[in-house]
């Protein structure tokens, strides 16, 4: 479904990614784990067209999207939920959700209403706060809103950038349960996380990113028990 | 219950409109007697259109532009050029003559206003291509620069046969009555409100809130910024055309940077991101300036001349009042809220409580002092 081949990204003279390659199959949960500054966010930015690429090739559903702008990438069925939630604080929960559907012109009014109802089923807490300003929600609720706003685009693949960042452990568990539910809805998920144990425990496959290079890959459960991963990311 | 409230609000709105129409009809019934009041209200209505269009850009899309005066000039000159009666044109263009291309072209006022708006919009579309890649202060400076370039072109001798250069244009037909001004202003503002409440309006707000989030949602930032800039400039151009008709004579000096600052003042005072705030701001600022005019006249009390009262003193008073308002209403009078009857009733109902609180504080401080 998504193929990244020999991707390199520079920020001026600084190399952020060096020749990374990975693939995502339909219906999978794939996770990219790594510490701060490993290049995880840059990887997602490069895929979704937010970050200019130096070299490499990215294909999505058989189409080359390497040089495609973000608006075209989204129209192809890709959704990027950026790091730090990035909701619209002055807009209400409902307006945030509707804003999520604006990037996909194929959506009819009826389908948008269906999607809103789907979000309320998936995130009942958002329904309770429908008329509340996004900025007044708690951290966990804001993260839920960011994810549901992404789902309002009706994407095939959902790319989540550190959804557990800055959240209480109990809320993190809720978020990861929701990720599994989203997969059960037929979505493919590319998850970027610093919380390696949680990410690998739900992932079909995982990749370990370090200073812009993929240094390890394997099944989620296998990486979870790998001594090198344990030592570096799980504090064992 | 909700339906009852809705119906109540509808009734209030109808009553308010009836009162407004009544006031306008009363003023219109004796234009000689009330010409001063009519001119204040007409100017306010015109400024309201341009302020709302500026707010569409600044308050709703988050683009800080200072090019309003330039786009108003485009609209004003297009309207003036095409509506000055053909018979009067020789006396207007008496220095350099008139270009044969426009000499006999006369358009109906609505068409000329529409054309003025379109001319401003087309120019905005062209200017927007390089300028909208900039952000915040840089965008403001660039648009301000373009506004001055437009003004310089209008005054340039090479265009004398079209714009009449520094001599300006006069004999511009005016509005038939105050209802025409208010009707046109209401139509323009209503169209902008419809836009703000549409999916386009939601996109504009999303861009204002967070550009990265908007981009990651698949919104083409440049396309929507350009759209907002063009639509805003269209209505600014129409507002400029209305101003030309109101003033009956214009020149390039009419559209100096000070005009943009006046409009910015209206938007900030009313509340960035509030349409009703911009309308309220336009009427308050325009009428406020006029009502304080007596401060410009020399004052003598019991044979003693008060030296403060002299030409220009009203602007000092006006500035002080503005500072007081801004100190008490940091986000403008309306903030980013819109007017609602429920909000007004809450405000009125809350006055006694606020007064009680104020008295309570005074009493407490007196007790504290007595100790």
pLDDT band (50, 70, 90) for residue B237 = very high
pLDDT at B309: 64
Most confident of A20-34, B90-104, B105-119: B105-119
Instruction: Please indicate whether, in this complex, the C-beta atoms of A99 and B205 are within 8 angstroms of each other.
Output: yes
A153 in contact with chain B, both atoms CB, cutoff 8 A: yes
Contacts A107 to B, Cβ<8 Å = none
Mean pLDDT over the full length of chain B: 83
Helices then strands, counting H and E runs in chain B, come out as 16, 2
Residue the block writes with tokens 């949602």 = B217
B352 in contact with chain A, both atoms CB, cutoff 8 A: no
pLDDT at B264 over 60: yes
Instruction: Please indicate whether, in this complex, the C-beta atoms of A90 and B220 are within 8 angstroms of each other.
Output: no
* For range A10-34, the mean pLDDT: 83
pLDDT at A235: 60
pLDDT at A218 over 70: yes
B2-29 and B35-58 are packed helices; what angle lies between their axes, rounded to 10 degrees?
140
pLDDT at A114: 83
For testing contact with chain A, the best of B207, B208, B217, B271 (most A CBs within 10 A): B217
For testing contact with chain B, the best of A87, A102, A159 (most B CBs within 10 A): A102
In angstroms, the CA A25 to CA A3 distance is: 9
pLDDT at B284 over 80: yes
pLDDT at B189 over 90: yes
pLDDT at A234: 64
3-state SS of A122-171 is HCHHHHHCCCCEHHHCCHHHHHHHHHHHHHCCCCCEEEEECCCCCCCHHH
CB atoms within 10 A of CB B222: 13
CB atoms within 10 A of CB B84: 22
A34 in contact with chain B, both atoms CB, cutoff 8 A: no
In angstroms, the CA A165 to CA A146 distance is: 13
pLDDT band (50, 70, 90) for residue B94 = confident
pLDDT at B212: 81
Q: Which of these, A122, A129, A108, A130, lies nearest to A150 by C-alpha position?
A: A122
- In contact, B202 and A101? CB cutoff 8 Å: no
Q: Considering only the beta carbons, identify the residue of B209, B210, B216 that sits closest to A70.
A: B216
Instruction: Please indicate whether, in this complex, the C-beta atoms of B219 and A98 are within 8 angstroms of each other.
Output: no
Indicate the Cα dihedral angle B71, B73, B75, B78, nearest 10°.
-140
With a CB cutoff of 8 Å and minimum separation 6, the contacts of B12 are B341
pLDDT at A99: 87
* pLDDT greater at residue A219 or residue B3: A219
Per residue in A84-104, pLDDT tens?
Answer: 767 888 888 888 888 888 888
> Domain map of chain B by residue range?
34-352
Instruction: Please indicate whether, in this complex, the C-beta atoms of A98 and B203 are within 8 angstroms of each other.
Output: no
pLDDT at B359 over 80: no
pLDDT band (50, 70, 90) for residue A233 = low
- In contact, A7 and A43? CB cutoff 8 Å: yes
CATH architecture of the region B34-352: Orthogonal Bundle (1.10)
Beta bridge partners of A64: A59
Contacts B213 to A, Cβ<8 Å = 82, 86-88
pLDDT band (50, 70, 90) for residue B120 = very high
pLDDT at A151 over 60: yes
B210 in contact with chain A, both atoms CB, cutoff 8 A: yes
Chain B nearest CA to A98, separation (Å): 8
Instruction: Please indicate whether, in this complex, the C-beta atoms of B212 and A86 are within 8 angstroms of each other.
Output: yes
List of E strands, chain B: 299-301, 304-306
Contacts A90 to B, Cβ<8 Å = 205, 209, 336
- In contact, B110 and B187? CB cutoff 8 Å: no
* For range A45-73, the mean pLDDT: 83
pLDDT band (50, 70, 90) for residue B69 = very high
Chain A nearest CA to B217, separation (Å): 6
Q: Considering only the beta carbons, identify the residue of A71, A73, A86 that sits closest to B213.
A: A86
B197 in contact with chain A, both atoms CB, cutoff 8 A: no
* For range A140-155, the mean pLDDT: 86
pLDDT at A166: 82
The angle at the Cα of B337, spanning B331 to B338, to the nearest 5 degrees, equals: 135
According to DSSP, residue B371 is labeled -
Chain A nearest CA to B62, separation (Å): 13
DSSP assignment of A74-139: HHTTEEEE-TT----TTSBHHHHHHHHHTT-TT--HHHHHHHHHHHHHH-HHHHHTTTSBGGGS-H
pLDDT at B371: 47
Chain A nearest CA to B118, separation (Å): 27
């Amino acid at each position: 479904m998504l193929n990244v081949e020999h991707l390199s990204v520079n920020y001026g003279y600084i190399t952020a990614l060096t020749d990374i390659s990975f693939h995502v199959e339909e219906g999978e949960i794939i996770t990219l784990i790594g510490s701060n500054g490993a290049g995880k966010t840059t990887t997602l930015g490069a895929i979704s067209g937010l970050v200019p690429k130096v070299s490499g090739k990215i294909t999505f559903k058989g189409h080359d999207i390497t040089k495609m702008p973000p608006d075209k990438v989204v129209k192809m069925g890709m959704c990027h939920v950026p790091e730090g939630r990035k909701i619209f604080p002055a807009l209400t929960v409902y307006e945030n959700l509707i804003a999520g559907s604006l990037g996909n012109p194929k959506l009819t009014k009826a389908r948008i209403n269906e999607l809103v109802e789907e979000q309320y089923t998936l995130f009942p807490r958002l329904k309770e706060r429908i008329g509340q300003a996004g900025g007044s929600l708690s951290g966990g609720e804001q993260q839920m809103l960011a994810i549901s706003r992404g789902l309002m685009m009706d994407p095939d693949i959902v790319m989540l950038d550190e959804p557990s960042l800055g959240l209480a452990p109990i809320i993190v568990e809720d978020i990861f349960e929701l990720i599994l539910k989203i997969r059960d809805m037929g979505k493919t998920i590319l998850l970027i996380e610093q919380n390696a144990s949680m990410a690998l425990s739900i992932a079909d496959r995982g990749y370990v990113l370090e200073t812009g290079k993929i240094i390890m890959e394997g099944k989620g459960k296998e990486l979870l028990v790998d001594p090198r991963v344990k030592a570096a990311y799980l504090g064992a | 219950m909700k339906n009852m409230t809705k119906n109540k609000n509808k009734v209030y709105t109808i009553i308010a409109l009836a009162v407004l129409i009544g006031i306008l009809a009363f003023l219109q019934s004796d234009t000689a007697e009330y010409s001063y009041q009519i001119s204040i209200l007409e100017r306010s209505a015109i400024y309201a259109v341009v302020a709302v269009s500026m707010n569409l850009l600044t308050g709703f899309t988050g683009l800080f532009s200072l090019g309003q005066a330039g786009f108003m000039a485009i609209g004003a000159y297009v309207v003036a050029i095409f509506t000055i009666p053909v018979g009067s044109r020789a006396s207007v263009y008496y220095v350099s003559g008139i270009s044969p291309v426009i000499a006999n072209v006369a358009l109906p006022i609505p068409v000329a206003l529409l054309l003025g708006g379109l001319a401003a919009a087309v120019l905005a579309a062209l200017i927007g291509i390089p300028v909208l890649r900039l952000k915040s202060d840089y965008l403001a400076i660039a648009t301000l620069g373009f506004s001055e370039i437009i003004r310089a072109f209008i005054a340039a001798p090479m265009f004398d046969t079209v714009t009449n250069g520094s001599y300006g244009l006069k004999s511009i037909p005016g509005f038939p009555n105050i209802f025409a001004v208010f009707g046109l202003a209401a139509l323009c503002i209503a169209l902008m409100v419809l836009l703000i409440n549409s999916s386009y309006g939601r996109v504009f707000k999303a861009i204002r809130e967070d550009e990265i989030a908007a981009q990651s949602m698949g919104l083409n930032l440049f396309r929507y910024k350009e759209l907002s800039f063009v639509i805003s400039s269209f209505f600014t151009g129409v507002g400029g055309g209305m101003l030309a008709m109101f003033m009956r004579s214009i020149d390039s000096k009419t559209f100096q940077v000070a005009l943009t600052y006046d409009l910015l003042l209206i938007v900030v005072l009313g509340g960035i991101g509030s349409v009703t705030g911009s309308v309220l701001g336009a009427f308050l600022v325009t009428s406020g300036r006029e009502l304080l005019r007596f401060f410009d006249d020399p004052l003598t009390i019991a044979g003693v001349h008060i030296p403060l009262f002299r030409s220009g003193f009203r602007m000092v008073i006006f500035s002080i009042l503005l500072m007081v308002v801004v100190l008490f209403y940091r986000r403008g009078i309306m903030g980013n809220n819109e007017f609602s009857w429920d909000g007004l009733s809450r405000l009125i109902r809350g006055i006694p409580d606020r007064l009680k609180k104020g008295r309570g504080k005074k009493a407490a401080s007196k007790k504290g002092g007595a100790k």
